[in-house]
Structure 1
Amino acid sequence: MRCISLLLLCFVVKLSAAQPQLETGAEQLQRYLPLLAGKRVGLLVNQTSLIAEQHLVDVLLANQVNVVSIFAPEHGFRGDHDAGARVNSGSDSKTGLPLWSLYGANKQPSATQMQQLDVVIFDIQDVGVRYYTYISSMHYMLQAAADHGVAMLVLDRPNPNGAFVDGPLLDLKFQSFVGMHPIPLLHGMTVGELAQMIRGERWINNADKLQLTVVPMTGYRRDMPYALPVKPSPNLPNAQAIALYPSLGFFEATPLSVGRGTAFAFQVIGYDKFGPAGFRFTPVSTPGAALTPPLMDKTLYGADLRTVAVNGLDLQYLLRWHALFKQHNEVFFTAPAFMDKLAGTDSLRLQIEQGLTEAEIRASWQPALTQFKQLRQPYLLYP
């Protein structure tokens, strides 16, 4: 028995050695601090830009890096702005550094702001869904860096939906801030991989002039589960919400609620006029997350998804509620243009309205998904 125990112990030790601990790009200071020596540095960051429990800004300042300015995406530098809420420029209360909004009047830094910099660091936790706007802010910063001869440094982080490549590809006729690239809704890439693809496929002007460096993670596989240490935005509070987000985000183009104004946003679906009777909830004004949520202060009837198993994009939620609205002679897609922007095409909305099954809709995506997987291959950094 003692020999068997020793053999098992050796196996466990070898297995542990073969599976290195996950280390994000930001945690690997030794790989990028030398690139910042003597440089004027800008940061496109938010509340997720952490090294252990310290913010990247504080870590860089403690290491004598010349941080010149901070750029804030949707939801703000501290992650306390509701979806779509204007983010104002100003200064960071803790460090006094200039704080420039990239979610307001300007989505891209000005020439004056870029001329003050030698390097811009992007370090933001994404969730791997095309209409989540952090990658759009990264796109605009990549463009500004290419235009003004500023180096771009992307510190990579996991994609919690990285195991999935699914959904319709974006048709550039429907390009918007909630979808800028001809990629599927679930693209299965990290921000570092996607930045390489944006440059390599020349989805920005002057792509050949872009000085891009990606600091990859260690110990990462795209199919590994990853629990985010901090919520990436006010209405994605946990792993369940992040997993459901690709399926429930489309409901933002309908009159229904997906739980904004509750403690379980993007984990429920409800409506005030009709719906399943077994579950009720009431959205309320929640400053910093949902000041005026859809169907505020109304009792809603619907579905509680907090404990359901989630496996990527599930169209059944849309199809079931569309059928229910049709049964009640009510309009389901009350914002059809926005639905088409979220989907990156009008075909998904039209297929649903025409009564196609989920299998039929999915079959229509497959040729483009196969081509995309081949196209992205040179840019992948992880198994």
Structure 2
Amino acid sequence: MKIFSLIILIITCLSCNGNSEQINRAVTKVKMTALEDKEELISVGANQTDVYLPLLKGKKVGVTANQTSVIFKGDNQSQIHLVDSLMLLNIDVKKVFAPEHGFRGRADAGEHIVDGVDAATGLPIVSLYGTNSKPSKENLKDIDIMIFDIQDVGVRFYTYISTLHYIMEACAELNIPVVVLDRPNPNGHYVDGPILEAELKSFVGMHPVPVVYGMTIGEYAKMINGEKWLNNEVQCDLTVVLLNGYTHDSEYALPIKPSPNLPNAVSVNLYPSLCFFEGTIVSCGRGTEMQFQVFGAPTLPNSPFDFSFTPRPNFGSKTPKYNGELCYGMDLMNEEKYNVINLDWLMAAYNSSLDKASFFNPFFSKLAGTKRLQKEIENGLSASAIKEIWQLGLDEFKERRVKYLLYK
């Protein structure tokens, strides 16, 4: 559509001069640009059916998936869910394993999800975000091979990589191969944040990696395996089906919301910075249509925090923080794309808070992966001084991850 509009604009402008040769040259150039752009389209792992279908023939297949697990058609304008595609191809899919937010991606963050049956396919669904995070032997007794296909956002406390860990671990213990269908990392262009400390390991942080780790989920799976992070240092029989046309600097706007409260590219880009507010008295916009694009609280002064919003129950947040209360804060919806974690907003909110003693809660250190960050902010360190403390760990991590990278 953009190329067509550009052609019309060129024709309109050049026609004023009556130069048909110029028009033809210009249109040809635009068409060539369109062909080049088409070649640069990123093709996700799920689209590489010729690679993974032979691995599934004659096997009883488990699929770890959610609403993002789709195969794109044409220029990514239409799609079919991976599970639907496999069943149409007579692959013997036995059950679906669902992460946080559920198989269809409708549950709130942190909402307990129970096992069930998918209404569209009749397949049993095993929840991996509820009573159990790790599939049991009983769950896997009729599975010969596991497909993992979930869109990640490249942030340590986004729990899909924790689900990946437990899938790999459970399958490794039962000698079940795992096939990861790789997808782009929309935050794959940088690495930043404190390294997780072992004593703060939890479902929102399982591995000694920074907050933003700059790897696709396929690369991350290789690192889990290679670093022997699975229980008892078991290693998984792992296959990664690669992306086509992707580099870590690729621009990639997610075509499907990865979870209910990350509605667009701005929220995905700001998520590594704003999610720290989940461990404070400040709201990051849940209960609005501006999730992870604004922040605020009733206890922040309306000067300089002159933007306001009132959270209400909505899709993805049935009981939002400060439900029905006027919050003062900042609107970040028009921020430029970040390639670092921004600490300025967190520090400004803390320094302006009328209730500093209650500003942080215990969840903050789990998100940060260290108890030091809270103390550094409370002690008045600058953002640059805090980031300098991170640097040694980041340098060591970058060096370690090199052998697991699959893309430039």
The normalised TM-score by structure 1 is: 0.94
Is 1:304 the counterpart of 2:337? The answer is: no
Q: Conserved in 2, the CA contact under 8 Å of 1:333 and 1:339?
A: no
2:36 paired residue number: 16
| 1:272-295 superposed Cα distances (whole Å, 9 cap, x missing partner) | 133345321100012x41111000
Where do 1:334-373 residues align within 5 Å?
334-335=360-361, 337-373=362-398
Q: Which is greater in Rg? A: 2
Is 1:323 the counterpart of 2:323? The answer is: no
Q: Conserved in 1, the CA contact under 8 Å of 2:190 and 2:213?
A: yes
Is 1:241 the counterpart of 2:258? The answer is: no
Q: Conserved in 2, the CA contact under 8 Å of 1:122 and 1:152?
A: yes
- My pick for the range that moved more, 270-279 or 167-176, is 270-279
SS in 2 for 1:331: helix
Q: Conserved in 2, the CA contact under 8 Å of 1:147 and 1:206?
A: no
SS in 1 for 2:367: helix
Q: Conserved in 2, the CA contact under 8 Å of 1:146 and 1:206?
A: no
How many residues are treated as equivalent by the alignment? 377
| 1:166-202 superposed Cα distances (whole Å, 9 cap, x missing partner) | 0001111110000001111000000000000000010
2:49 paired residue number: 29
Change (3 A) 1:11 1:377: farther
- Counterpart-to-counterpart distance in 1, 2:374 and 2:299: 23
Change (3 A) 1:258 1:190: same
The aligned amino acid for 2:400 is L
- Counterpart-to-counterpart distance in 2, 1:318 and 1:10: 45
The normalised TM-score by structure 2 is: 0.88
2:66 paired residue number: 46
The aligned amino acid for 1:26 is A
- Counterpart-to-counterpart distance in 2, 1:11 and 1:236: 35
- Counterpart-to-counterpart distance in 2, 1:10 and 1:318: 45
Q: Conserved in 2, the CA contact under 8 Å of 1:149 and 1:209?
A: no
Change (3 A) 1:115 1:206: farther
SS in 2 for 1:224: coil
Where do 1:211-290 residues align within 5 Å?
211-277=237-303, 278-286=306-314, 288-290=315-317
Q: Conserved in 1, the CA contact under 8 Å of 2:281 and 2:358?
A: yes
1:188 paired residue number: 214
SS in 1 for 2:258: coil
SS in 2 for 1:145: helix
The aligned amino acid for 2:348 is R
2:82 paired residue number: 56
| 1:57-93 superposed Cα distances (whole Å, 9 cap, x missing partner) | 0000011100000001000001000000001101111
SS in 2 for 1:32: helix
- Counterpart-to-counterpart distance in 2, 1:77 and 1:67: 15
Note the C-alpha offset of 1:164.
1.0
- Counterpart-to-counterpart distance in 2, 1:315 and 1:364: 14
Is 1:101 the counterpart of 2:121? The answer is: no
1:292 paired residue number: 319
Selected match of 2:400 from 372, 375, 379:
375
RMSD (Å) for aligned C-alpha atoms: 2.1
- My pick for the range that moved more, 59-68 or 10-19, is 10-19
Q: Conserved in 2, the CA contact under 8 Å of 1:164 and 1:186?
A: yes
| 1:312-344 superposed Cα distances (whole Å, 9 cap, x missing partner) | 31000111111112xx35335331x21111011
The aligned amino acid for 2:328 is Y
The aligned amino acid for 2:330 is A
Q: Conserved in 1, the CA contact under 8 Å of 2:60 and 2:145?
A: yes
Q: Conserved in 2, the CA contact under 8 Å of 1:197 and 1:379?
A: yes
- Counterpart-to-counterpart distance in 2, 1:69 and 1:136: 20
